[in-house]
Amino acid sequence: MSRLLTLSAIETNGLAKQFGKIMAVDRIDLTVSKGEVFALLGPNGAGKTTFINMLCTLIKPTGGWARVAGHDIVHESLAVRKNIGIVFQEPSLDDLLTARENLCLHCMLYGVPQPETGARIERMLAIVGLDARADDLVRTYSGGMRRRLEIARGLIHTPRILFLDEPTLGLDPASRQAVWSYIQELKAAAKTTIVLTTHYMEEADRLSDRVAIIANGRIKEIGTCEELKNKVGGDMVILKGRIEPEAFAGLDFVKETLREQSGLRLTVREAPRHLKTILDRCPQVEEVRVRRVTLDDVFLKFTGSPMPGENSG
């Protein structure tokens, strides 16, 4: 216990998983601090779920090591599992049981003290707003209700670390908002370390302290949302019209120019201050838009994007 106070929540070193010839996770080194909300952002098939499944001791790594809550994921898998909660990407509720029974079964499997179980179940059901339907079979639940029940289940044994694999995948906007605000509450109140995977940039931006961008099983970039945005370069200036990139040669505040279908996209440091200079260079411009860099831009830049002209492997 005392050892946990001094260690980071998660620590991986060269963690790798190979399926046949495919490196699903290619030597990832990562440290997540206690109480941190950490997002793994990446396209489908990037290796996020495989990485999470290794940390949850569901699959064994083929290389490297990792410690979760201070315990080795291979040799102390039971101790790891006692300290974590998981909300899987695919629904893993028992359809043939009621919500209350699902939670009760979970408490028994996770060794929640018997006298506390009833009260905890009531509290969690109220938090996720399922108290009215608690005794209905999960079979009759909608997708959003299932998701909320899974989150309640992942938390009911008060884990130190919560893994959320695509927590809002397939949810309608209202349910997504509800899940987000709940995760934010959890972060503020319980100081739970949360690792979530997502391919929604907005989700990572809203929830996480730090983000790692994963592609092809490797971490391409890691940092706070702000840091990553700054790495892309500040602001975006989108110009419409017949403009050549050469027009901006020699301007040191223009970090990148990129041809787009109907014009040009510039990455500019302190765009508002330099906007006049930019416009002077292209009198034939038809339309101008300036916006802050979003994680979308970061994502596209670092994952080998679908956009033409850009590439980072």
Partner 1 sequence: MNMMPADLRAVYALLLREIKIYFREKERIISILVSPLLFLFVMGRGLSGHSPIAGINYQQFIFPGILCMVILFTAITYGLYIIWDKRLDFLKEVLAAPISRGTLFFGKSLGGMVGAVMESLILLVIGAIFVLPLGPAKILTAFILSVPFSFIMANIGLSIVARMNSMEGFGLVMSFLTWPMFIFGGALFDLSKAGPWLRLAAYLDPFAYCVDLMRWVMFGWGAFPLTLDLTAVVFFCLVSAAWGVFSFGSLQQTR
Tell the smallest beta-carbon distance from residue 19 to partner 1 (Å).
10
Q: Does 265 bind partner 1 (CB under 8 A)?
A: no
Burial, 3: exposed, middle or buried (Cβ in 10 Å; 0-12, 13-18, 19+)? exposed
Q: Does 88 bind partner 1 (CB under 8 A)?
A: yes
CA atoms within 13 A on the CB side of 301: 18
Binding to partner 1 in span 181-200, by CB under 8 A: none
CA–CA separation, 236 vs 271, rounded Å?
A: 8
- CA-closest candidate to residue 49, choices 90, 11, 83, 13: 90
Tell the smallest beta-carbon distance from residue 285 to partner 1 (Å).
51
Site pattern 158..177 for partner 1 (x: CB under 8 A): --------------------
- Residue 223's contacts (CB-CB under 8 Å, 6 or more residues apart) are 210, 211, 231
Residue of 7, 27, 65, 97 that binds partner 1 (CB under 8 A):
97
Q: Which stretch binds partner 1 (CB under 8 A): 8-16, 38-46, 88-96, 228-236?
A: 88-96
Contact between 9 and 198 under an 8 Å Cβ cutoff? The reply is no
Radius of gyration of the chain (CA): 23
Q: Does 74 bind partner 1 (CB under 8 A)?
A: no
Of the two residues 9 and 213, which places its CB atom closer to partner 1 in the complex? 9
- CA-closest candidate to residue 211, choices 89, 305, 294: 294
Q: Which stretch binds partner 1 (CB under 8 A): 57-65, 66-74, 208-216, 219-227?
A: 57-65
Q: Which two tokens stand for residue 208?
A: 């996480």
Burial, 91: exposed, middle or buried (Cβ in 10 Å; 0-12, 13-18, 19+)? middle
Tell the smallest beta-carbon distance from residue 76 to partner 1 (Å).
11
Tell the smallest beta-carbon distance from residue 71 to partner 1 (Å).
11
Q: Which stretch binds partner 1 (CB under 8 A): 28-36, 38-46, 74-82, 221-229?
A: 74-82
Of the two residues 105 and 279, which places its CB atom closer to partner 1 in the complex? 105
Of the two residues 117 and 294, which places its CB atom closer to partner 1 in the complex? 117
- Buried residues in 126-156 as b, exposed as e (16+ CB within 10 A): ebbebbebbeeebeebeebbbbbbbbbbbbb
Burial, 8: exposed, middle or buried (Cβ in 10 Å; 0-12, 13-18, 19+)? middle
- CA-closest candidate to residue 312, choices 231, 235, 238, 246: 231
Of the two residues 110 and 253, which places its CB atom closer to partner 1 in the complex? 110
Residue of 11, 43, 63, 82 that binds partner 1 (CB under 8 A):
82
Q: Does 115 bind partner 1 (CB under 8 A)?
A: no
Residue of 29, 45, 74, 92 that binds partner 1 (CB under 8 A):
92
Q: Does 78 bind partner 1 (CB under 8 A)?
A: yes
Of the two residues 82 and 231, which places its CB atom closer to partner 1 in the complex? 82
Q: Does 108 bind partner 1 (CB under 8 A)?
A: yes
Q: Does 269 bind partner 1 (CB under 8 A)?
A: no
CA–CA separation, 173 vs 181, rounded Å?
A: 12
Residues that bind partner 1 (CB under 8 A): 53, 56-60, 78-79, 81-82, 84, 86, 88, 90-97, 101, 105-106, 108-111, 153
